[in-house]
Amino acid sequence: MSTDILISEVGPRDGLQPIKSIMPTEKKNAWMDALYKAGVREIEVASFVPAKMLPQMADAADIVRHAKTLPGLTVMALVPNLKGAQAAIEAGVHKVTIPVSASAAHSLANVRKTREEMIEEVKRIAQYRNDHAPQVKVEAGIATAFGCTLQGLVPEDEVIWIAEQVIAAGADESGLSDTTGYANPAQIKRLFRRLKSAIGSKAGAAHLHNTRGLGLANCLAAYEEGVTSFDSSMGGLGGCPYAPGASGNVVTEDLVFMFEAMGVKTGINLDLLFEARKPSLQMKTGF
């Protein structure tokens, strides 16, 4: 089916990451199967981090192996460092995404590295990809691009500088993340316009949160600036544990409804999507 935009489901990673009750591997696989049946064609399936730090993601390699059985699905995983990228690439992912924070305070809290150290980490990951798996895409998303609960204001010039640096380091694309849910539509338009001017076609996805109820409005603003890739999570699951007070992602069901109602093709069947949301709602309520 032809589509106008890509909606990337991040529930199995970003959504589940802050939840203490662990979803069994077979239920995660069933969830991905249901998302795929509904027409979702990119899923962030897991993060490759030490199991002792994040038990929810201990089965990351098994999840990737199952996801790869779904034809045409782009299997994506979050990796915070070279070791995680090596494990993800060995498991067979099609795409790795690296969180690089625009906020100095958030960078230290989230990945225990400075922003400059994370840029060097992107360079190492890109080089490893070039040497061992050139078919794998490398994305470096700029977290806290619109403000930070730890630091406060994040200068827009620094956001654009970091995006330019990660592209120079070898990332294939760099998008903007509203990790804390601070963004407003005018800010979204301004910063995505600047991003596209700075890195051109390598400008990537909008990863927006709904902390203050502006998630959909911000997605629409990004779309009006030419953004065609959006991250979202079933039932609005998610939220960064290192961004105090920030709640979940844009709701996938709402995002699909909005765009389809506007005549913007997502390739996703809304009725089947509602069937796929049951596991995410169970996790949200603790079932």
- Write out the catalytic residue numbers: 240
Q: Which of 165, 146, 191, 170 is nearest to 96 (CA)?
A: 170
Cα Rg for the chain, rounded, in angstroms? 17
How far is Cα 97 from Cα 173, in angstroms, rounded to an integer?
Answer: 9
Kindly report the CA angle at 75 between 275 and 185, in degrees rounded to 5? 70
Spell out the long-range contacts of 25-34 with Cβ–Cβ below 8 A and sequence spacing 24 or more. Answer: 25/59, 25/62, 25/63, 27/279, 28/59, 28/63, 28/279, 29/63, 29/66, 29/67, 30/279, 31/276, 31/279, 31/280, 32/63, 32/66, 32/67, 32/70, 33/70, 34/272, 34/275, 34/276, 34/278, 34/279
Structure tokens at 135: 């078919």
